[in-house]
Amino acid sequence: MTKTRVIAALIMAPVAIAAILLLPTQWLAAAAAAVFLIGLWEWLKLADVDDTLARTVLLVLNLLLMVLMVWAGDGSLVLYQIAALVGIAWWLMALLWLRFFTFGASPSSPARALKLLAGTLAIVPAWASLVLIHASGSNGHLWLLTALAVVWAADSGAYFAGRTFGRTKLAPRISPNKTWEGLGGGMVAGLAVALGFGYMAGIDNAHVLGLIITAVVTVFASVLGDLYESLIKRHAGAKDSGHIIPGHGGVLDRIDGVLAALPVFALGKEIFGF
């Protein structure tokens, strides 16, 4: 399975990197919307929306929301900044949900509606944050690559550190395979990549501390996104969100950490001005 994961990653990563570096923001926004909406399709399935027509309607409504943001923004990034803040607010609520992990476990629970809303609150702000970062100046594409590379490195570092050194469970009732040692390995890998890619993006020494703070919170956010997806999968009795990516599961399984991390990185970039 590890070999399959690596091969799939080696195929996906160059495609994603090429899109980030070569596509103009509007085309990257369209491509990212397609990927994120596939993830939302899987999210809705996990939230017990089994009817294909109902899922299609909800998906189209989210697509229309993205289109409305592009149209109403008319070149301004204010709506995207607001969306990023909304996303961060949602993920703080999700952190509380992890504390009360049985909330919404029953298919007949009123929390089902909240899970549906959560899909929008996770997908749309992450998409808006991606656009916000990519459009932020001449090096925006490099900063977006930095943000995603931090998540990718943290995920890989946690995976291999957890397999090698993992002893203490991080959240055993939600995701039994995650360990504090894995989190530590992910943090080290994420920070190293943040600094390396940050210098490539042109950061100066005066803003390095801001980048480090942003990267630390971004790594924690990516773990939060991963844990929350594990929570709704556990509620749904599913191992993966889908089977579209060999060795990785569904699209949502690959972007869960990104959904929570992008709004944090976008806000950190705005606050610290790097």
pLDDT digits (tens, 9 = 90+) for 204-244: 999 999 999 999 999 999 999 999 999 999 999 998 898 88
DSSP labels for 62-126?
HHHHHHHHHHHHTT--HHHHHHHHHHHHHHHHHHHHHHTTTTT-STTSTHHHHHHHHHHHHHHHH
- What is the number of structural domains in the chain? 1
Domain around 135? 2-272
The two structure tokens encoding residue 218: 């971004």
Predicted local confidence at residue 113, as pLDDT: 86
End-to-end distance of the chain based on CA atoms, in angstroms?
39
At 20-33, the pLDDT tens digits run 999 999 999 999 99
This prediction's pTM: 0.93
At 54-69, the pLDDT tens digits run 999 999 999 999 999 9
Quote the CA–CA distance of 91 and 75 in Å, as a whole number. 27
Which residue numbers in the chain have pLDDT < 70?
A: 1-2, 5, 247-248
Measured N-to-C along each axis, helices 52-73 and 78-99 cross at an angle, to the nearest 10 degrees, of: 140
- 221 Cβ neighbours under 8 A, 6+ residues apart: 91, 257, 260, 261, 263, 264
